[in-house]
Amino acid sequence: MLSLLALVSVADFVDVAAKSLAIMLASALSAILLHRASAARRHLAWCLGVISLPLLPLLSYALPAWRVSWAPSLAEEAPMVSVAAPPAPQAIAVQPSPSDVEPSAADSAPTKADASRAKNLPPPISAPAGVEPQSLGTPWVVWVFAAWLIGVAFTLLPLLVGLCQLARLRRGSSRVREPSWLSLLGDLRARLGLWRWVALWRTTRTTMPLTWGALRPAVLIPAAADDWSSERRRMVLLHELAHIRRWDWLTQMLAHLACAFYWFNPLVWIAARQMRIERERACDDLVLASGAKASDYAQELLELATGLDEARLVSRQSSIDG
């Protein structure tokens, strides 16, 4: 772990944090400037900023250098050590000649060339007084890195729990094969220009309609959907297919990763929340653009949410009585 910390300095952490803050501020400014635009455009402004955050450490090597000068680094904290001169080659014993035993005065006197070479030699490097050798990974850097990892783990935990619950919900569901549902699904896919195949599932649990998956998307409806009117079926499926057409499941997963890696940046959490709000508005806009009346659509959503709350209340009361 210390060898890994030796490759990443504190300045790198500070640089990435500062760049993430700048990117989120740019996304927020773009969303403010697009307040009169459609919800899809505002979602795109937030989405581009959030999606770029997980790639920021890699992009930092390709983009122009932007360093925070006041941030300390491991390289600056590395202790100065003395560099020993390489050992002189071992002399070979040679029987001196009579002329070598008694050198002449001319040979023993230093020449101008010898004095010039001695003047150009660099001074020896030595450690300053009071400095003791330390390990390259200082303890406080290790604690900062450990705190970041703990934050990442706690942020990813709800996502993993949600994915496990979704997998369990999927295993307890059955494929919808009624021609009425499949015909409606095919017509709405053609209307939205959705080329990906969409699987339709039904569950006996009390839940709101939802969708998941990117390349192999799926839509889940409750068993009570068989009693819905044809208009409610069309609106609900159109809303869920709008999520699939817009790749909302994939962008939301990337937003979760951005929140995990940059959990210390509050603007990332705000951006992820705004993404959820704008994506629902964008899907509602697609439903209304398909010809549905706003009043009818709002009434259907209200009745659907009310029926879900009543079903949960009855289920909870039954479990208490039982």
Percent of the chain at pLDDT above 70?
66
Looking at residue 154, its pLDDT comes to 94
**DSSP-based three-state secondary structure for 240:** helix
Extents of the domains making up the chain: 2-72+137-321
Separation between Cα atoms, residue 172 and residue 63, nearest integer Å: 48
Ranges of beta strands (E only) in the chain are 174-175, 199-203, 210-212, 218-222
Looking at residue 129, its pLDDT comes to 53
pLDDT digits (tens, 9 = 90+) for 254-264: 999 999 999 99
pLDDT of 224 over the 70 cut: yes
Long-range contacts of 21-24 (CB under 8 A, 24+ apart): 21/265, 21/267, 23/49, 23/52, 23/53, 23/56, 24/49, 24/265, 24/267, 24/268, 24/270, 24/271
Task: For residue 175, list its beta bridge partners.
Answer: 201
Q: Which residues of 131-158 are buried (b: 16+ CB within 10 A; e: fewer)?
A: eeeeeebbeebeeebeeeeeebeebbee
DSSP state at residue 53: T
Cβ atoms of 181 and 231 closer than 8 Å: no
Looking at residue 17, its pLDDT comes to 80
* Confidence grade of residue 239 (pLDDT, cut at 50, 70, 90): very high
* Confidence grade of residue 319 (pLDDT, cut at 50, 70, 90): very low
Closest CA to 225 of 244, 210, 247: 210
Please report which helix (H) or strand (E) contains residue 271, including its range: helix 266-289
pLDDT digits (tens, 9 = 90+) for 265-296: 999 999 999 999 999 999 999 999 888 888 88
Separation between Cα atoms, residue 317 and residue 150, nearest integer Å: 39
